[in-house]
A and B are shown apart, each in its own frame.
Chain A
Amino acid sequence: MTQSERFLDVKDLKVDYMTLDGPFRAVKGVDLHINRGEVLGLAGESGCGKSTIAYALMRLHRPPAFIAGGDITVDGEDVLAFDEETLAQWRWSKVSLVFQSAMNALNPVLTIFEQFRDVYHRHTGKSTAEARARAVELMELVGIDPVRLDDYPHQLSGGMRQRVVLANALILEPQMIIMDEPTTALDVVVQREILQEIAGLQKKFGFSILFITHDLALMSQFADRIAIMLQGEIVEVNSAHEILHNPQHDYTKKLWDAMPSFEDAEGVA
């Protein structure tokens, strides 16, 4: 870490979902921070609230979900105080989001270029020609031949689609990217390619990353710090090294134990 200044600061964040039985608290007073240029991993199993946090940071929740309390400060600004128009401009230019399923994140009836153009035009008001130039630049950046800009999402492989989504998240040079299971739906080799790509881009541009996954091994290869989440609460935060070599919380240990690794021979008859 070159700077220790906090880019993202979350204090006592609470997110509720309204249910027939009253509010269900999915995120129970979470504190976390991400420094500039830092990669923070957020790990936990399905339903623990990790994606809910990602949505809350971007203020994407719609009823029945709502933020019940807490503070979110990004680059010194109070995100929860933004009005709709400020929020719309702020999203994507300051903080962007990469979802798990690249197919669902892309509009199937628009070409790759049209998806780039939409975001670019909405935020910068620049011409189609300028958007084209930026899109070509980004495609080259993520290693896809720019001729594919005129293809539709279904004409690309899963790995390429995830690269396109990544390129799209970079279009306005955000200072932080939230990645919600960006590699989970991919094959191991493609997963590795995408992870390398993300790591390379992060090093090149120095943005912060909130990296959400349930795969602790994958996360340890890449994150600076790791937060472990269980039932709406963060139970342990430490450097990736300490989480791997010196886990403190029982749940962290349990997560490690649950993963079969090559060292396990007990299962082989």
Chain B
Amino acid sequence: MTDQPYLEVKGVSKTYTLKTIFSGSKQVKALQDISFKLGRGEALALVGESGSGKSTCGRAIAGMFDIDAGDILVNGKSITSARNSKEKRENARKVQMVFQDPFASLNPTHTVRHHLARPLLLHKRVPDGKSLEQEVIRTLEDVELDPSVMLDKYPHELSGGQRQRINLARALAVGAELIIADEPTSMLDVSIRRSILNLMNRLKKDRGITFLYITHDLATAHYLTENTAVMFGGRIVEYGPSDAIVRDPQHPYSQLLLSSVPNAHTRINADFEHARDFSKFADKVRKETAESTAGLKEIAAGRYVRAA
């Protein structure tokens, strides 16, 4: 990690108030005192189940809502202090998101050309029409798509993998430095997941793009990232090198998560009682993790675990 991290998240909290028609309001602590650093050209995985706050964390960094407490620094500058639209646009340009659903994130009525040209124009990245076309073509080549076939296609003519490449291209087109990828492969077929991960890996290594990779899949997290933060109930329960977390998870929730990843080499125990025991165990771990108020403790260099 360089002296100044590219992204620094300092004690970020966010609480949502749910107001229902029939009952009173309810507070949901989506993020509680989240802190981490991410160096330029590195990747961090935020891993956890639905509702763990991992996507909320990504969206907070993308500036999609105001946080309640804490600060988010991109390249040393706080995104919360952006005063005018120029600064805000500059933040938006540098930090781009790629969403889970490649079908919903492209406009069905527009061509690939439009999807890539529009952000270039919005962020004033090109001086004239001719260089716009060249820039669009170059961006498509960056994500390993053939411009001669792709440019005039509509989203419905593309496969899930191709659409996700277009989403990555759209982020690259405006010169994204940090890409927040929220489950970018979970809606793709297994047979093309790896190719998208490989592309992200190449962008990271060759172009120095920083990635925040949000997923519930520890195996792919390990494939792409240096560090992993395991989240539960809006908090980080374990943080450390992805390799170490996969080999030797410390927090009971990380252990549960890891043991649940399908492994072709172990047959599951089909005993009826065992199924019930596993569920009870899973519920117990979730409950204890949710109730624990302990702070993160450093157990080895760069490894932090919340006491169970």
Contacts and interface: CB of A to CB of B under 8 A. Distances in A.
Interface size class of B (residues with CB under 8 A): 35 or more
The interface centre, meaning the residue of A196, A203, A244, A259 with most chain B CB atoms within 10 A of its CB, is A196
Contacts of A101: none
B279 interface: yes
B86 interface: no
B217 A188 contact: yes
B192 interface: yes
Contact of B260 (A189, A199, A202, A268): A189
Contacts of A189: 49, 256-257, 260, 282
Contacts of A196: 268-270, 274-275, 278-279
A201 B263 CA distance: 21
B264 interface: yes
A244 B271 contact: no
B278 A268 contact: no
B267 interface: yes
B262 A199 contact: no
Interface in B177-227: 189-195, 197-198, 201, 204-205, 216-220, 222-226
A46 B189 contact: yes
Contacts of B256: 189
A218 B222 CA distance: 19
B26 interface: no
Given A214-B189, A216-B264, A193 B278 contact: yes
A189 to B, nearest CB: 5
Contacts of A255: 190-191
Contact of A221 (B205, B226, B262): B262
Contacts of A195: 268
Interface string A192-232: 11011101111110000000001111101110000000000
Interface string B100-143: 00000000000000000000000000000000000000000000
B193 A217 contact: no
Nearest to A158: B50
A188 B226 contact: no
Interface string B158-187: 001000000000000000000000000000
Contacts of A221: 262-264, 266-268
Contacts of A214: 189-191
B22 interface: no
A136 interface: no
A20 interface: no
A203 B273 CA distance: 11
Interface string B229-257: 00000000000001100100000000011
B20 to A, nearest CB: 12
A264 B242 CA distance: 12
A45 interface: yes
Nearest to A190: B49
Interface of A: 45-46, 143, 158, 187-193, 195-197, 199-204, 214-218, 220-222, 244, 254-255, 257-262, 264-265, 267-269
